[in-house]
Amino acid sequence: MVSAGLKANSKKQVLQELAAMAARGSDLDERDIFDALLQRERLGSTGIGNGLAIPHGRFARLGRLFGVFARLDRPVDFEAVDGLPVDLIFVLLAPEGAGADHLQGMARVARLLRTPSVVAALRSSRDADALYSILTQGDTSRAA
């Protein structure tokens, strides 16, 4: 699931909106997703720098990796490692026992979001279909 121009004023509101999106695309409860993402953020920000964040969580009732991406209408403070506000967010949800698959998914998302040309394309694209295309270029699994 992809959103172009998500409107939110705070990190908490961003996580609420993304949890709602994820719930619509999965069999998970919106509140459970939000609580898991918020709990993970309490351990330390998932803001990886350069305006990027990768919130994530594990769920017993999830059968496969599931992703939600949003480009924010306006950057928000995410307590990122570099102190910069975040405007590109990829939420990765994984089955509780995913182990290596979860780590590989996180690594793949991080690599993709650290590619300057990809980040520039994500920031300049104005519709969800274009964002989805950028995120899945070269992907044969279409996992989310």
56 a catalytic residue: yes
Q: How many domains does the chain have?
A: 1
Q: Is residue 53 part of a domain?
A: yes
Q: Which of 80, 83, 91 is nearest to 15 (CA)?
A: 91
Residue 25 lies in a domain: yes
Q: pLDDT by residue (tens digit) across 37-62?
A: 999 999 989 999 999 999 998 888 88
Owning domain of residue 121: 2-136
Residue 36 maps to a domain? yes
Residue with tokens 């650290």: 114
The CATH number linked to 50 is: 3.40.930.10
Domain for residue 69, yes or no?
Answer: yes
Catalytic member of 22, 47, 56, 90? 56
**For the residues 109-123, what does the mean pLDDT come to?**
90
Distance between terminal CA atoms of the chain?
7
Residue 142 is assigned to a structural domain of this protein: no
Q: Does 143 reside within a domain?
A: no
User: Could you tell me the pLDDT band of residue 143, with boundaries at 50, 70 and 90?
Assistant: very low
In the 8-state DSSP scheme, what is residue 78?
A: -
Q: Please state, as a whole number, how many other Cβ atoms lie within 10 Å of the Cβ of residue 109.
A: 22
In a domain, 129, yes or no: yes
Which helix H or strand E contains 75, and what residues bound it? strand 66-76
Percent of the chain with pLDDT over 70: 94
In a domain, 144, yes or no: no
pLDDT at position 76 is 96
What b/e readout covers 32-55, taking b as 16+ CB neighbours within 10 angstroms?
bbbebbbebbeeebbbbebbbbbb
Predicted local distance difference test score (pLDDT) of residue 15: 96
